[in-house]
Amino acid sequence: MLLGKLTQLLAQANISLTDQQKAQLVKLVELLHKWNKAYNLTSVRDPQEMLVKHILDSLVVSPFLKGERFIDVGTGPGLPGLPLAIINPTKKFYLLDSLGKRISFIRNAIRELGLTNVEPILSRVEDYQPEQKFDGVLSRAFASLQDMTDWCQHLPNENGIFYALKGQYQEDEVKMLNDDFQIIDVIKLTVPELVGERHLICVKSVAKI
């Protein structure tokens, strides 16, 4: 049932995946549903709804990612990092969260799904000092662009981009951005069957001259 629904949603979003990737995404939803009962990882309870609000909502960002190494900050139960890792096997995703139960879920999901391109990190973002910086910093949970750029400014490499997954585009939030950062793109995302707007806001650090 879930596979049929996923296939239908992917077709609506013009996303083409292998049978294995589809099976992995369905398995991820099943794991989320199972763990959610004990760990309360997401407020979305219905697996069909998870396909729209968690899986498709994550996948539509994929075409806009530039580079090979990405960190998903405040990933929660691995969103958008796990779905993106499943459909981008050649890219590496680091999933950071400060809550142990979420990282436990992600570790289990990595094992169950056979993913080799995901690294879970249990840490607060301000305490995490990577040996190598990232091409992209992803987040769909941060309160504001200002918080995201302030707390994560040590994570992207010199060409790295912040990818903020947002609902409505908030002009006021953009005005609050520190002068050290500039918005390079605002992309309106279309998520099949999702009520409400979705935007991807791409932000870059302005080089100090």
Domain boundary assignment for the chain: 60-205
Separation between Cα atoms, residue 102 and residue 75, nearest integer Å: 8
Tell me whether residue 126 is annotated as binding.
yes
Question: pTM for this structure?
Answer: 0.96
Block residue for tokens 């294995």? 20
Query: Reduced to 3 states, what is the DSSP secondary structure of residue 11?
Result: helix
Tell me: pLDDT of 114 over 90.
yes
Report the mean per-residue pLDDT for the chain: 95
Banded model confidence at residue 142, pLDDT cuts 50, 70, 90: confident
Separation between Cα atoms, residue 196 and residue 202, nearest integer Å: 20
Least Cα distance to 196 among 53, 81, 28 occurs for: 53
Enter the tokens of residue 40. Answer: 């309360």
Q: What is the mean pLDDT of residues 149-162?
A: 95
Tell me whether residue 140 is annotated as binding.
yes
Tell me whether residue 79 is annotated as binding.
yes
Tell me whether residue 44 is annotated as binding.
no
At 90 the pLDDT is 98
Tell me whether residue 45 is annotated as binding.
no
Which CATH number does 60-205 carry? Answer: 3.40.50.150
